[in-house]
């Protein structure tokens, strides 16, 4: 009896798909079958022919009923999630910190759920890191959005009557998205500066040919993220960044930490001090924004600058982001499949650290703490096999 990977259609606004043809082939090599809802891959331009040897279902309900593991880009509808059953596995981007009600509803199904946002930030998990792969696309898109709106060329240009000076781009946040934004802006020929409160990012920023803005604030935290700044550090940071922001033609902000509201780094007064025609792209808009006055999904005028709050940036390039997403899920799922059957090794720190719910309860300590839920008891250390694989 082969384990079945189910692919339901994503939400209406989502263009990405969690499956592509190359991954279907690799799953077949593991002894797994793939069940896809009709139309689920259309917006990612993955045709039925390109997917290859898959089975088809007419509805999300049929996919859930016929699958042992469900791969998803985002959350299922409440009705579809309620149809999950004990022993079944759901994995993907599940917004684990959304609310206690959301987490408890998933737990109540008895299904084991893995929120890839919770993936431990360790070297062995890099091939599974959905936040990094999708963040890379987001950083790239932020620069394209800014370049399309900027009233200036990005590169230095020489023409018959003289020379055009290159645009100045400031990128705040030097994670995967920020570094991709820096690299993309450099490729377009801009003069680029980068900033992050984590001192170890300086070398990464400078390796891409950008100048590092040093505010004197250093706040390296756990798991590769920055810790929360004190009030005094926030004031120091803003004072030091004010000049760099004012000098920039384009400002791109990318600072976000899963489970927390995005930190407000750039004040309205700082944006108002920018030159007329300046462009601000706030990648953290969906999490509240790094820029005071950002509106998610909208473009607003602040002083002489335009502040753009884009949403679902990876969905703007669904062919490649779907490919990356599917390969991340494949890397995460592969250790759970042995001889075509589902077997979960709870002694694996990556698997255990990514689990959101199991056996009717929320099992991630960090999520439980943020949502005010009881602290979970330890997960079992022995492997758990699927009792009744789908026929």
Question: Is 390 inside a domain boundary?
Answer: no
pLDDT at 44: 96
**Active site positions, annotated:** 121, 126, 129, 132, 225
Q: For residue 66, what is the domain's CATH number?
A: 3.40.50.720
Mean pLDDT of 157-179: 95
Q: Which domain, by its residues, includes 33? A: 4-128+317-385
Q: Are residues 299 and 226 in the same domain?
A: yes
Do 153 and 211 lie in a common domain? yes
Average per-residue pLDDT for the chain:
93
Q: To the nearest whole percent, how much of the chain has pLDDT over 90?
A: 84
| Domain C-terminal end among 280, 315, 350 | 315
Residue 84 Rama label (left phi>0; alpha psi -120 to 50; beta) = beta
Q: Are residues 151 and 98 in the same domain?
A: no
Q: What is the CA radius of gyration of the chain?
A: 22
Q: Residues 66, 6: contact at Cβ < 8 Å?
A: yes
Strands 211-212 and 279-282, how do they pair?
unpaired
Beta strands in the chain, from DSSP E residues, in sequence order: 4-7, 33-37, 55-57, 69-72, 89-92, 112-115, 157-159, 162-164, 168-172, 191-195, 211-212, 250-253, 279-282, 299-302, 305-308, 337-338, 341-345, 355-358, 361-362, 383-385
Residue 188 belongs to a domain = yes
In a domain, 227, yes or no: yes
- Which tops the pLDDT comparison, 85 or 217? 85
Domain final residue pick, 315, 340, 363 = 315
Q: Given phi > 0 = left and psi -120 to 50 = alpha, else beta, which region is 173?
A: left
Report the pLDDT value the prediction gives residue 266, as an integer from 0 to 100: 95
- Looking at the structure, tell me whether residues 250 and 149 fall in a common domain: yes
**What does the pLDDT read at residue 135?**
96
> Is 391 domain-assigned?
no
Whether the per-residue pLDDT at 82 is higher than 50: the answer is yes
Residues 296 and 375 grouped into a single domain: no
Are 161 and 276 found together in one domain? yes
Residue 383 has pLDDT above 80, yes or no: no
Q: Into how many domains does the chain fold?
A: 2
Does the pLDDT at position 378 exceed 90? Answer: no
Whether 216 and 324 map to the same domain: the answer is: no
List, for residues 209-267, the tens digit of each pLDDT value.
999 998 888 776 666 666 778 888 888 888 889 999 999 999 999 998 777 889 999 99
Measure the CA–CA gap between 117 and 119, rounded to whole angstroms: 6
| pLDDT value for 238 | 86
DSSP state of 377: P
* For range 314-328, the mean pLDDT: 98
pLDDT given for residue 389 in this prediction: 47
In a domain, 361, yes or no: yes
146 located within any domain: yes
Q: Picking from 80-89, 199-208, 246-255, 382-391, which range would have the lowest pLDDT averaged per residue?
A: 382-391
Where among 288, 315, 342 does a domain terminate? 315
For residue 168, the Cα-to-chain-centroid distance in whole angstroms is 27
**335 and 245 in one domain?**
no
Q: Are 367 and 259 in contact (CB under 8 A)?
A: yes
358 lies in some domain: yes
Phi, psi of 180 (to 5 degrees): -65, -40
pTM: 0.91
DSSP annotation string for 215-239: -S---B-GGGSBPPPPHHHHHHHHH
Q: Could you tell me what percentage of the chain is helix, strand and coil, using 3-state DSSP and rounding each to the nearest 5?
A: 40, 20, 40
d(CA 371, CA 98): 8
Angle between the N-to-C axes of helices 318-333 and 130-149, in degrees from 0 to 180, rounded to the nearest 10: 170
In this prediction, residue 387 carries a pLDDT of 46
Tens digits of per-residue pLDDT, 97-146? 999 999 999 999 999 999 999 999 899 999 999 999 999 999 999 999 99
Question: 345 and 306 in one domain?
Answer: no
Higher pLDDT, 181 or 387: 181
Contact 265, 241 (CB under 8 A): yes
Q: What is the pLDDT of residue 385?
A: 61
Q: Are residues 112 and 219 in the same domain?
A: no
The answer to whether residues 374 and 228 belong to one domain is no
Is 282 part of any domain? Answer: yes
Q: Are residues 245 and 283 in the same domain?
A: yes
């Amino acid at each position: 009896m082969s384990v079945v990977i189910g692919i339901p259609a994503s939400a209406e606004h989502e263009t990405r798909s969690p499956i592509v043809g190359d991954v279907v082939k690799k799953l077949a090599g593991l002894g797994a079958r793939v069940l896809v809802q009709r139309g689920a891959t259309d917006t990612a331009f993955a045709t039925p022919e390109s997917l290859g040897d898959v089975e088809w279902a007419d509805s999300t309900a049929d996919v859930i009923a016929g699958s042992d593991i469900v791969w998803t880009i985002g959350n299922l509808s409440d009705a579809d999630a309620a149809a999950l059953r004990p022993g079944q596995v759901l994995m993907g981007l599940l917004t684990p910190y959304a609310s206690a009600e959301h987490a408890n509803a998933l737990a109540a199904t008895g299904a084991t759920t893995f929120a890839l946002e919770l993936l431990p930030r360790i070297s062995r998990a890099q091939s599974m890191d959905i936040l990094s792969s999708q963040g890379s696309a987001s950083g790239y898109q932020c620069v394209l959005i800014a370049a399309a709106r900027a009233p200036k060329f990005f590169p230095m240009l020489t023409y018959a009557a003289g020379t055009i000076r290159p645009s100045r781009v400031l990128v705040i946040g030097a994670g995967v998205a920020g570094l991709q934004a820096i690299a993309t802006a450099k490729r377009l020929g801009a003069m680029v500066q980068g900033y992050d409160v984590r001192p170890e990012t300086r070398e990464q920023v400078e390796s891409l040919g950008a100048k590092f803005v040093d505010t004197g604030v250093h706040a390296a935290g756990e798991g590769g993220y920055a810790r929360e700044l004190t009030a005094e550090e926030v004031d120091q940071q803003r004072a030091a960044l004010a000049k760099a922001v004012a000098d920039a033609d384009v400002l791109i902000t990318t600072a976000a930490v899963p489970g927390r509201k995005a930190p407000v780094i750039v004040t309205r007064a700082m944006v108002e001090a920018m030159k007329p025609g300046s462009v601000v792209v706030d990648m953290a808009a969906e999490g509240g924004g790094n820029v005071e006055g950002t509106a998610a999904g909208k473009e607003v005028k602040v002083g002489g600058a335009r502040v753009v709050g884009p949403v679902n940036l990876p969905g703007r390039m669904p062919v490649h982001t779907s490919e990356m997403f599917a390969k991340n899920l494949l890397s995460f799922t592969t250790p759970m499949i042995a001889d075509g059957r589902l077997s979960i090794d709870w002694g694996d720190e990556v698997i255990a650290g990514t689990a959101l719910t199991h056996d009717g309860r929320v099992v991630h300590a960090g999520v439980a703490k943020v949502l005010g839920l009881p602290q979970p008891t330890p997960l079992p250390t022995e492997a758990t096999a699927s009792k009744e694989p789908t026929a």
